């Protein structure tokens, strides 16, 4: 499937980019930024003096766009005007509301519209996918994950192992880290699958690691897993809206993600899920049934035996929370208008600039954990600071920087292309230099 949001998306060549540490360079880049108009579409937190802070925490929670309130208000007005009739009446009836989001969502993750839906929250969707796709049999009864997988994913996996009567100690296995940089070496994944694949029922990996910001090669890892007969799924919480994805062409079995990070849909907002079309008609796949997974054509007849809806819709359980979908609708429209290629290109330039400025600092205390190769990272750079504790994070906040702290000693910085610019990056490094008392 050709996907215009993926084709040529990584062709921006920054190898000869001449960055400059002077503030005037950042201001010039901001003036010439093709996405500069989007910053005005977001609300920024303010400090006690009412001054807007520099927000570099989209990897944890995206900012609220100014279209969000109008989108929620439209649903609220429809509820006020129609009551229960709003399910089938009004400008955007609620029963098919989520169907109108599938096209835009599918473009951002590189899928067919029939392969994606918005439902539940991320870990709930992961539980649903594990119910369907973790089917231990014989020697093939293990699950392979990263050592630094996001904790909620590990908890979900552990519960499914226990559900099947399998011990966590014997059936949950980890991809070894590279010994020299603490990242995941993709060659290690390939070799590990080749040596152990016949015992692995399912592989679950974060597309972008939450701690290091490493962006893994999803198509290659999927191929290696399939060559060994393994099912493979991805947690794309830190990838969707951040890096180019092509889930359909990569032949991924399933994926789950949230919408409150780079997609800016609000805290705890509704999540997304993907199931490749080759699994849609497999009636042997177990599913937790609910009436929203029932065929919509006869759903409201109420007396029929369960008939699965077509595509990924059959994995749905409950009716959609429309007030939560409204911000997603507004966000997806903004992403489509901005174009993922432009977003990715600016991300490459911003992280390159951040890396350049950090390396210009005269200190041995700072180490960038995130891979140097642009193809192996998204918006986030994880900055390890030797002998630092959370007080560094607090001092950065006092200096007007909203970033993210993860033990041990890591400040996560994620300049999001839609609302961050080069001056934001410059101001952050200036503040970090002051907090760490770096001379020069």
d(CA 300, CA 290): 13
* pLDDT, averaged across the chain: 93
What is residue 180's predicted lDDT score, i.e. its pLDDT? 66
Angstrom distance (rounded) from CA 346 to CA 415: 10
Cis previous bond, 335, omega within 30: no
pLDDT of 7 strictly over 70 = no
- Answer CATH for 23-63+339-435 from 3.40.50.2300, 3.90.1150.10, 3.40.1410.10, 3.40.718.10: 3.90.1150.10
Which whole number is the average pLDDT over 100-120? 97
Confidence category of residue 137, pLDDT binned at 50, 70, 90: very high
Please determine, for residue 28, whether its predicted confidence score (pLDDT) is greater than 60: yes
Helices (H), 212-362: 218-227, 247-250, 322-338, 340-360
State the greatest distance between any 2 C-alpha atoms of the chain, in Å, as a whole number. 76
Residue 393: pLDDT above 90?
A: yes
Higher-confidence position of 17 and 397? 397
Confirm if 16 and 386 have CB atoms less than 8 A apart.
no
User: Which residues of 166-313 form beta strands (DSSP E)?
Assistant: 172-175, 200-206, 231-235, 254-257, 272-275
- What tokens appear for 120 in the block? 């539940």
Mean pLDDT in residue range 339-364:
94
pLDDT tens sequence across 41-94? 999 999 999 999 999 999 999 999 999 999 999 999 999 999 999 999 999 999
Distance of CA 323 to the CA centre of its chain: 21
How high is the pLDDT of residue 417? 97
Helix or strand (DSSP H, E) at 107: helix 102-109
> What is the residue extent of each domain of the chain?
23-63+339-435, 72-335
pLDDT for residue 3 is more than 60: no
Q: What confidence score (pLDDT) does residue 266 get?
A: 97
Give dist(CA 111, CA 385) in Å, integer. Answer: 39
Q: Answer left, alpha or beta for residue 416, where phi above 0 means left and psi between -120 and 50 means alpha.
A: beta
Query: Of 1.10.275.10, 3.30.465.10, 3.40.640.10, 1.10.357.140, which CATH number belongs to 72-335?
Result: 3.40.640.10
What is the per-residue pLDDT for 31?
97
Residue 264 has pLDDT above 60, yes or no: yes
């Amino acid at each position: 499937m050709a996907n215009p949001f993926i084709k040529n998306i990584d062709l921006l060549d920054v190898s000869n980019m001449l960055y400059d540490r002077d503030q005037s360079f950042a201001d010039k880049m901001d003036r010439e930024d093709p996405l500069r108009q989007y910053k005005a579409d977001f609300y920024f937190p303010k400090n006690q003096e009412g001054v807007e802070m520099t927000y570099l925490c989209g990897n944890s929670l995206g900012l609220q766009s100014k279209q969000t309130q109008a989108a929620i208000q439209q649903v609220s007005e429809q509820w006020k005007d129609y009551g229960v009739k709003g399910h089938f009446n009004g400008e955007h009836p609620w029963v098919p509301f989520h169907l109108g989001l599938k096209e835009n969502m599918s473009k951002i993750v590189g899928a067919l519209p029939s392969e994606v839906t918005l439902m539940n929250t991320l870990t709930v969707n992961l539980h649903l996918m594990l119910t369907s796709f973790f089917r231990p049999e014989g020697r093939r009864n293990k699950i392979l994950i990263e050592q630094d997988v996001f904790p909620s994913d590990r908890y979900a996996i552990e519960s499914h192992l226990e559900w099947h009567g399998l011990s966590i100690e014997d059936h949950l296995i980890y991809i070894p880290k590279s010994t020299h940089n603490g990242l995941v070496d993709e060659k290690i994944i390939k070799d590990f699958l080749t040596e152990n694949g016949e015992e692995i029922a399912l592989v679950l990996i974060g597309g972008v690691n939450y701690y290091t910001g490493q962006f893994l090669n999803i198509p290659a890892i999927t191929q290696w897993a399939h060559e060994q007969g393994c099912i493979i799924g991805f947690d794309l919480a830190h990838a969707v809206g951040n890096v180019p994805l092509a889930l359909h062409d990569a032949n991924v079995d399933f994926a789950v993600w949230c919408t409150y990070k780079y997609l800016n849909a609000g805290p705890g907002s509704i999540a997304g899920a993907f199931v490749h079309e080759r699994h849609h008609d497999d009636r042997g796949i177990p599913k937790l049934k609910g009436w929203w997974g029932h065929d919509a054509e006869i759903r409201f007849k109420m007396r029929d035996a369960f008939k699965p809806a077509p595509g990924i819709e059959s994995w749905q359980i409950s009716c959609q929370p429309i007030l939560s979908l409204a911000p997603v609708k507004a966000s997806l429209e903004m992403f489509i208008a901005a174009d993922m290629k432009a977003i990715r290109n600016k991300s490459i330039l911003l992280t390159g600039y951040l890396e350049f400025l950090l390396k210009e600092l005269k200190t041995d205390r700072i180490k960038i954990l995130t891979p140097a190769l642009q193809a192996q990272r998204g918006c986030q750079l994880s900055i390890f600071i030797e002998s630092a504790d959370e007080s560094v994070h607090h001092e950065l906040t006092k200096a007007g920087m909203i970033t993210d702290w993860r033990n041990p000693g890591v400040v996560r910085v994620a300049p999001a292309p839609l609302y961050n610019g080069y001056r934001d990056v410059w101001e952050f490094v200036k503040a970090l230099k002051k907090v760490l008392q770096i001379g020069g």
